[in-house]
Amino acid sequence: MAWIIILAAGFVVVEIHPEIVPQVKDEIKATNTRMQPYVYLIKTNIDKKLSGPVKTTSEDQVGKVSTPVESPLKNMHTSNTYYYHFKSNVPAKARQVFQNAVDTYNNTGIVKLVPGNAQPNQNNITFFIYHKKIENIASSTVELGNGGPSALQLDHYAINSGRAGLNVTYPNMSMKDSVAMHELGHALGLGHSSYTNSVMYPVDQGVSKLSEADLNGLRNIYK
Residues at the interface with Zn ion (CB under 5 A): 40, 42
Minimum distance from residue 147 beta carbon to Zn ion (Å)? 7
Minimum distance from residue 120 beta carbon to Zn ion (Å)? 27
Minimum distance from residue 182 beta carbon to Zn ion (Å)? 6
DSSP tag of 35: -
Angle between helices 92-107 and 177-187 (to 10 degrees): 60
- Count of all residues that appear for the chain in the document: 223
Minimum distance from residue 202 beta carbon to Zn ion (Å)? 5
Minimum distance from residue 78 beta carbon to Zn ion (Å)? 20
Nearest CB to Zn ion, comparing residues 67 and 123: 67
Q: Which residue is nearest to Zn ion (CB)?
A: 40
Nearest CB to Zn ion, comparing residues 193 and 216: 193
Nearest CB to Zn ion, comparing residues 32 and 208: 208
Decide: helix, strand or coil at residue 23.
Answer: coil
Nearest CB to Zn ion, comparing residues 40 and 105: 40
Q: What phi and psi values does residue 90 have, to the nearest 5 degrees? A: -75, 120
CA 41 distance to own-chain centroid: 11
- Cβ-based neighbours of 216, under 8 Å, separated by 6 or more: 63, 65, 66, 67
CA distances to 37, 174, 209 from 167, rounded to whole Å, are 18, 6, 21
Minimum distance from residue 83 beta carbon to Zn ion (Å)? 23
DSSP, residue by residue, 69-122:
B-GGGTT-B--SEEEEEE-TT--HHHHHHHHHHHHHHHHTSS-EEEESPPPTTS
Nearest CB to Zn ion, comparing residues 69 and 118: 69
Nearest CB to Zn ion, comparing residues 40 and 127: 40
Phi-psi region of 32 (alpha: psi -120 to 50; beta: other; left: phi over 0): alpha
